[in-house]
Amino acid sequence: MPSYWDKEGKLVDFRVSIVGSNDDGSSPSQIVSSQRTVAFLKDTPMSANAQYTSPTIDVLNYTKLFIRAFADANGVFSIQSSDDGITWDISASYNVVAGTVLFAPVVNGLLQLQLRYIRVVYTNSTTAQTIFRFSGYLSPM
């Protein structure tokens, strides 16, 4: 089923059940559907130099990770991997150019999904955002 962001920055037209929430309660940390799992969802604009760290994601039963990033200020995000969910190493980094949607598919066999856990860290530039949409979806196939 297609999904999109409405004018208020909320994901709509997507059949889901909410499993949890981020520590600050701002967005679901895991939404489960029959086709994919939303690993993280962040849609609150960030201040200058702010950083967002997704919840720790157990990828044991998944083979694909799709990340979507859009902001009206430049930024960078890294995918970090871990054997234990405590000690993290950067596996890959992606630059986000203001006003451009970035899709970053990551498939099994790459370092990011070879370890049991991943998390994603987004760092905003020196310009405060007014628009920010950052999400990650897991797929078992």
The answer to whether the predicted template modeling score (pTM) of the entire model surpasses 0.95 is: no
Domains of the chain listed by start with CATH number: 4-139 (2.60.120.680)
What digits encode the pLDDT tens for the residues 93-131? 889 999 988 887 765 545 456 788 989 999 999 999 999
Can you tell me the mean pLDDT for 21-30?
51
Residue 72 has pLDDT above 50, yes or no: yes
Cα–Cα distance, 58 to 138 (Å, whole number):
10
Provide the pLDDT for residue 59: 87
Three-state SS annotation for 90-131: EEEEEEECCCCCEEEEEEECEHHHHCCEEEEEEEECCCCCCC
Tokens 């897991």, residue?
138
